[in-house]
Structure 1
Amino acid sequence: MRKRRSPIAKNLLKNSVAGMFSAIEVHNKPIIAYRYETVVLLVLNSWELVLKAYLYKYHKTVKLFHKDGTTKQFENCLNITVDKIGKDFIPISENLIVLYEYRNQVAHFYLEELNPILFSLISKSIIFYSKFIKLHFKVDLSEEANLILLPIGFKRPISPVDYISTNSVNSKASLELKEFLQSIVNASRRLNDVNIEETIFSDFKMNLTNVTRTTNADLIAGIDNTKKNELVVTTIKESKKIIVSNSGDNVNLTRDKSQSQGTLLYEELQDGIFDEINNIVDANKILARNDSKFVLGSQLYYRIYSERQYVNFNIEVYELLAKTALLDFNAPFLYWFTKLPGKNAAEILLQLYHQGKANKIMSLNRMSVLLGDGAAKKLQAKFADKFKGLAQKPLYVYSQSELIKSKQTDPVLKCLKASPGKMILSKTYSEFIKDPKLSKSTLSKECFKIFNEESDQKAILRELDFLAYGDQMVANAELVNEFVKQF
């Protein structure tokens, strides 16, 4: 009987909640690099999953899945949800739009002084998230975990005095950062225009008082007349505009288009400035606590493998991912092997041999055949010695012998026990072997389907992996030498 698949909405929600808890855990680590870059990524990914769960559960007419196997992008899901829920969701949308802008331009936002703003935005986003899943999925996060967390540290999370003055973040900010800060103001203004009192960031108490008596406010906009201020903010009630002057020409920000002036510049981001795949890899390092394990689960592994070419080369990382694929998940792994030194790759294969899991040894058998007769017969002898005297040996021992005896001349087809005309995903094995671009792109697409729970054909992915990268392993001299030496 075919195993019944879990409901898509339920799994999307489960992964979403796990991602949000990971974001909270990463944020509250005392010493961590790229804190807010990683946390914002995890928060947005969590929201994307829960929005898809919401649309899938409540709005069946919304087609989440495209014909190419991908799903609707985050911004699209956000816009549809706003349309379906209406005014009550607008503050959440504005909060997420601001965080999404930060995510896309993070390379420009390098000042630590921005952290209090990000803290406030993320804090509010998590509160929004908790209310959203309780309302729509009856999940109470307070019952999931006893999270009563306080930002305790060696200095205050917000440095209030002169926050908007000469010493503020604005005095050192790039154009992109100033535009980002302005986007927060714009978001708040849009909420105000439609009479929504909800804010997009965590609430702060505010007092209007003399700068020498700032004792009760959480966030202080100080006007310090003892210093010469380069930044002057003027509000004019009649025209509802703000004029900002910084020793140059005035720029008027106004709702009246005829009174607006100034030029907005936009620098297009280069590919790879914010590589979310590498952030997932880095998040694993943090959560694994220096243990050489991939703790984020098999689904995120398939997400990484779907965009494997974007993972920054690092022997330690590639070795970890290769071991994870072979020893834990029985997943595609060959791309990492094409980059690893022969010694490292052979050590992983030896660990696989000692693990002795029958369903995973097939990858070891296939690798030995790709490496040539020397490696294949070395493994065969190893099996013979290990199971000497046993009348009934494991099936993979006999399978290894059959591979060696095969008359197939193409090493990749030989290791897969396949003929050129055998079909896989509406294509022949021969077509995939002759077109490396096709085999690699199909592998990526199918890995992404596993991540999105649109497919469970993992055995097919392992074969696609050999069709895509098997030729790069054929008679790999360095790996062959290490394999024979270690086995």
Structure 2
Amino acid sequence: MKRTITIKECNSKLRNRLVDKSIEAFLMGLEVFNKPTINYRTEGFSFFICNAWELMLKALLLKRGQSIYYKDQPDRTYDLLKVVYLVYTDKRQPLRINLEKIINLRNTSTHFITEDYEAIFAPVFQSCVVNYVNELLRFHNRDVSNYLNRSSLTLTTNIKELSNEQIKAKYPDEIAQKLIFTKNDIDVTKKIEDSNKFAITVRHELVITKDQNKANFSVKINKDAENDIAIVKELKDPADIFKFSRGL
């Protein structure tokens, strides 16, 4: 006995496939960015995270019973920017602005990139990661923690952001101007939006406390601790203290 598959069932299968592929792209983006041996981190992450959002939001449109195809080109699905505008209709929404900046970087990365974009976009990328995790759960009831440890959601970067003067000294005029414009644009937007949905700056700071309930680990200042440390009260440059070397 043959069973006819309904359009609703076809859409459901397609949605699940889109979400599965979206999660795969998201995980690939994290892996690329957090792998220290890869120099193509910024470009690679922007490609994969945009792909992850596009597939996830297209699955949402199908879930809502909306089309994901252009009317005049029925064999072509919507691009990411159109999908973002259909789902997030408020152009002032920090999450939408975050995606717009990364989409622009993704488009730029196909023909223009410098290694110093990583330091500029790291807070924007981090916010995009958190936004994706939250929206995936909200729209499709899929929890990223089923696929990886949540500690892996923190992006790592070792590149220090350059000042405008350092950028001018490092790059030719055309590249320097583009980089400075992008840097200033991100800085101004962060001040205007002031929202974790646009940018999240990750800082790692160690603070010594005498209250053991507030500590993540103990050190030798506590006589029962195993770890040995020394407290630095004053920073000194060894070159200023030791003026001579064996080579002189």
Coarse TM-score class (shorter-chain normalised)? 0.5 to 0.7
User: SS in structure 2 opposite 1:202?
Assistant: coil
- One-letter amino acid of the structure 2 residue matched with residue 10 of structure 1: N
- For the aligned residue pairs, the C-alpha RMSD in angstroms reads 2.9
Distance 1:71 1:121, change over 3 A: same
CA distance in 2 between counterparts of 1:48 and 1:72 reads: 9
Distance 1:199 1:92, change over 3 A: closer
Which residue does the alignment assign to 2:128?
125
CA distance in 2 between counterparts of 1:52 and 1:72 reads: 8
CA distance in 1 between counterparts of 2:192 and 2:87 reads: 18
Unmatched tracts of structure 2, length 5 or more? 204-232, 236-248
Which residue does the alignment assign to 2:81?
75
CA distance in 1 between counterparts of 2:184 and 2:197 reads: 15
Quick check: 1:90 aligned with 2:93? Answer: yes
CA distance in 1 between counterparts of 2:149 and 2:191 reads: 35
Cα drift, residue 93 of structure 1: 1.1
Cα drift, residue 49 of structure 1: 0.8
Which residue does the alignment assign to 2:15?
9
Contact 1:27 1:39 in 2 (8 A): yes
Distance 1:174 1:17, change over 3 A: same
Contact 1:19 1:45 in 2 (8 A): yes
- One-letter amino acid of the structure 2 residue matched with residue 182 of structure 1: N
Q: Which has the larger radius of gyration?
A: 1
Cα drift, residue 204 of structure 1: 4.7
Contact 2:54 2:80 in 1 (8 A): yes
Q: CA deviation digits over 1:15-54, x for unaligned, max 9?
A: 1011101111222223124222112101001111111112
Which residue does the alignment assign to 1:312?
none
CA distance in 2 between counterparts of 1:21 and 1:99 reads: 17
Distance 1:53 1:147, change over 3 A: same
User: SS in structure 2 opposite 1:148?
Assistant: helix
Contact 2:131 2:197 in 1 (8 A): no
CA distance in 2 between counterparts of 1:20 and 1:94 reads: 19
Q: CA deviation digits over 1:79-138, x for unaligned, max 9?
A: 11111xx48x9222111111111112223322x232222332222211110011111211
Which residue does the alignment assign to 1:64?
68
Cα drift, residue 141 of structure 1: 0.7
Q: Return the match for 2:118 from 97, 115, 120.
A: 115
Residue identity (%): 20
Which residue does the alignment assign to 1:143?
146
Which residue does the alignment assign to 1:166?
165
Contact 2:117 2:179 in 1 (8 A): no
Report the TM-score, using the length of structure 1 for normalisation: 0.35
Q: Return the match for 2:105 from 102, 106, 114.
A: 102
CA distance in 1 between counterparts of 2:85 and 2:131 reads: 17
Report the TM-score, using the length of structure 2 for normalisation: 0.66
Q: How many positions carry a matched residue from both structures?
A: 191
Matches within 5 A, 1:24-423: 24-58=30-64, 60=65, 62-66=66-70, 67-83=73-89, 86=90, 90-106=93-109, 107-110=111-114, 112-149=115-152, 157-159=158-160, 163-164=162-163, 166-167=165-166, 169=167, 171=169, 172=171, 173-188=175-190, 191=193, 197-204=195-202
Quick check: 1:20 aligned with 2:4? Answer: no
Unmatched tracts of structure 1, length 5 or more? 206-212, 216-487
Contact 2:123 2:202 in 1 (8 A): no
Using CA pairs below 8 Å that are at least 6 residues apart, which structure has the higher relative contact order?
Answer: 2
CA distance in 1 between counterparts of 2:83 and 2:197 reads: 22
- One-letter amino acid of the structure 1 residue matched with residue 34 of structure 2: N
Which residue does the alignment assign to 2:228?
none
CA distance in 2 between counterparts of 1:32 and 1:2 reads: 50
Distance 1:165 1:182, change over 3 A: closer
Distance 1:199 1:131, change over 3 A: closer
CA distance in 1 between counterparts of 2:163 and 2:178 reads: 18
Q: CA deviation digits over 1:238-282, x for unaligned, max 9?
A: xxxxxxxxxxxxxxxxxxxxxxxxxxxxxxxxxxxxxxxxxxxxx
